[in-house]
Amino acid sequence: MHHSFLDKYSELESPVHRIHPLVKLCGYGVILLFTLTASIYRPLEFVIAGVLILGVVSISRIPIIYVIRKTLLLSPLMITLLILLPFIRGERILWGINFIFPISITAEGVYLSGTIAVKSVLVFWSSVLLVSTTRFPDLLYALRMVRVPQTMITVLAFMYRYVFLLIDETERMETAHRARLVRRQGLPLLMKSVVYLVRAIFIRSFERSTRVYQAMCARGFRGEVCLLQTPSIHTADIVFLFVFTGLIVVIKLAI
């Protein structure tokens, strides 16, 4: 397997990596709350959130370019929003045309699209930061501590474990398909091949999930994933959480 893992940089050594996963999850919640309650009419809030996130990224020794490059994953959604939202109804029309029916760009639409775009990027950066500084099992542990339903945690754990195998199997089938391709396919034939591929992936996934379930039953599984507890939080972690939350509250009140 040669895939880039979700938590590619999670094994690095840095002060951010050493923070307890539960504290990181809480800190993530605080920064999310700060970002989501920020307004486009007070742009300084966005600037502070951005600087704060990228500052922590640089302390954690994760290349900033990696975080920014990951943001490109958002681009299809962002482009759609940036194109469509300015046309929503509003009071202040910035530009308009009468073509079959009236079309207009409103100030409210522009503000909304800007707000959503900036907030999406900041939330995405925070998420990448959290996942890149926390090993996935530790993240699951933190989620369990904040009482996320066990079923959801189990699903996440299985997804993390098997998504790469699924990608691997897809790649193998795609290679086999290409190897038998003697000339360029037309669209109908291509669509047919894609349907066969999806069907094969579905069947293989189903078969594998059956085998995994059998392996779990063979080792005493009775419907609930039981895990051992991991070490408790240190005083330094709690102090860090209070200082960080306090700082965010002060910034919020000051602006």
Partner 1 sequence: MQMTDVDRTNTPVLRLKDVYYTYPDGVESLRGVSLEVYRDEKVGLVGPNGAGKSTLMTVVIGIRIPRTGEVEVLGQVLNPKTRREIRRRAGLVFQDPDDQLFCPTVFDEVAFAPINMGYPEEQVTEMVARALKQVDLEGYERRSSFHLSIGERKRLAFATVLSYSPEILLIDEPSANLDPQHRRQTINLLKSLPQTMLIATHDLDLVLDVCERCFVINRGRIVADGDVESILTDEQLLLSNGLELPLSRQ
Nearer to partner 1, 108 or 168 (CB): 168
How distant, in Å, are the alpha carbons of 107, 112, 186 from that of 47? Answer: 22, 17, 49
Nearer to partner 1, 119 or 144 (CB): 144
Q: Binding of partner 1 at residue 1 (CB under 8 A)?
A: yes
Q: Which stretch binds partner 1 (CB under 8 A): 34-42, 67-75, 130-138, 142-150?
A: 130-138
Q: Binding of partner 1 at residue 158 (CB under 8 A)?
A: yes
DSSP states of 89-107: --SSEEEEEEESEEEEEEH
Q: Binding of partner 1 at residue 124 (CB under 8 A)?
A: no
Q: Which stretch binds partner 1 (CB under 8 A): 53-61, 197-205, 218-226, 244-252?
A: 218-226
The alpha carbon dihedral of 129, 135, 136, 137 has a sign of negative
Q: Any idea what DSSP says for residue 3?
A: P
Question: Residue 25: CB partners within 8 Å, gap ≥ 6?
Answer: 130, 134, 139, 142, 143, 146
How distant, in Å, are the alpha carbons of 6, 73, 159, 174 from that of 165? Answer: 14, 21, 10, 14
Nearer to partner 1, 50 or 137 (CB): 137
* Of positions 175, 229, 232, 235, contacts partner 1 by CB under 8 A: 229
Q: Please report, as ranges, the residues that interact with partner 1 according to CB under 8 A.
A: 1, 135-137, 140, 157-158, 160-162, 164-165, 208, 211-212, 214-222, 226-229
